[in-house]
């Protein structure tokens, strides 16, 4: 999948009797960085989960290069969706956690991941559940960047990071975009 184009056509999602997303249409062109702004509870994460193929819309469609995203392995393996998730129960060491993720990411760049581990100053032998929230956020950002997915979605992945870590994150996103 090279240079993906994402389209949402009359996208609607209802959960029980509540409409979360109502008749939304847009096109996202390739080789660009997009931002999604809105109030808490507006449906941003829900929209992103539809885009990543985690949910099926009630009606309408979301496609990548004309193909439906939901339950489409060929498309989904090319999407990296990174959310801020607290890893309270995962006792895998960071290195093992990254290796596990790499198994399911066909473009994963291990050398780049290890470079980012050093840049973020993360303890590679520490269990995920013993890392601070900011360090866990940095670990997730590493996964998003090192996955080298044609479509990478960061949903508030920077939460918990201190200012120097956020600076590294922003610079890496821009460097990857420029390359």
The string of pLDDT tens digits covering residues 52-66 is: 999 999 999 999 999
Largest CA distance in the chain: 48
Q: How wide is the angle at C-alpha 50 spanned by C-alphas 49 and 53, nearest 5°?
A: 85
Q: Quick one: 1 and 27 in the same domain?
A: yes
Asked whether 70 and 108 are in contact (CB, 8 A), the reply is no
pTM of the model: 0.89
Q: Quick one: 61 and 85 in the same domain?
A: no
Percent of the chain with pLDDT over 90: 78
Q: By C-alpha distance, which of 151, 120, 123, 115 is closest to 137? A: 120
Local confidence band at 81 (pLDDT 50, 70, 90 cut-offs): very high
Local confidence band at 91 (pLDDT 50, 70, 90 cut-offs): confident
The string of pLDDT tens digits covering residues 116-175 is: 999 999 999 999 999 999 999 999 999 999 999 999 999 998 888 999 999 999 999 998
Q: Quick one: 4 and 34 in the same domain?
A: yes
- Give the structural domain span for 18: 1-72
Over the chain, what is the mean pLDDT? Answer: 92
Q: Quick one: 129 and 47 in the same domain?
A: no
The string of pLDDT tens digits covering residues 2-60 is: 678 899 999 999 999 999 999 999 999 988 889 999 999 899 999 999 999 999 999 99
Q: Quick one: 103 and 177 in the same domain?
A: yes
What CATH number did the domain enclosing 14 receive? 3.40.50.300
**What total number of domains does the chain contain?**
2
């Amino acid at each position: 999948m090279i240079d993906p184009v994402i389209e949402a056509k009359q996208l609607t999602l209802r959960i029980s009797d509540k409409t979360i997303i109502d008749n939304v249409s847009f096109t996202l062109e390739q080789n660009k960085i997009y931002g999604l702004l809105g109030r808490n509870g507006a449906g941003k994460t829900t929209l992103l989960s539809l885009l990543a193929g985690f949910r099926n819309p009630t009606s309408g469609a979301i496609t990548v290069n004309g193909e439906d995203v939901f339950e489409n392995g060929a498309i989904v393996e090319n999407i990296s969706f990174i959310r801020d998730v607290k890893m309270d129960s995962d006792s895998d060491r960071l290195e093992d956690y990254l290796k596990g993720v790499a198994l399911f990411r066909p473009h994963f760049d291990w050398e780049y991941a290890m470079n980012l581990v050093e840049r973020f100053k993360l303890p590679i032998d520490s269990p995920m559940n013993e890392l601070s929230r900011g360090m866990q956020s940095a670990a997730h950002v590493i996964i998003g960047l090192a996955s080298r997915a044609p479509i990478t979605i960061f949903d508030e992945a920077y939460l918990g990071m201190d200012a120097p870590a956020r600076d590294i994150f922003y610079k890496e996103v821009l460097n990857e975009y420029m390359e």
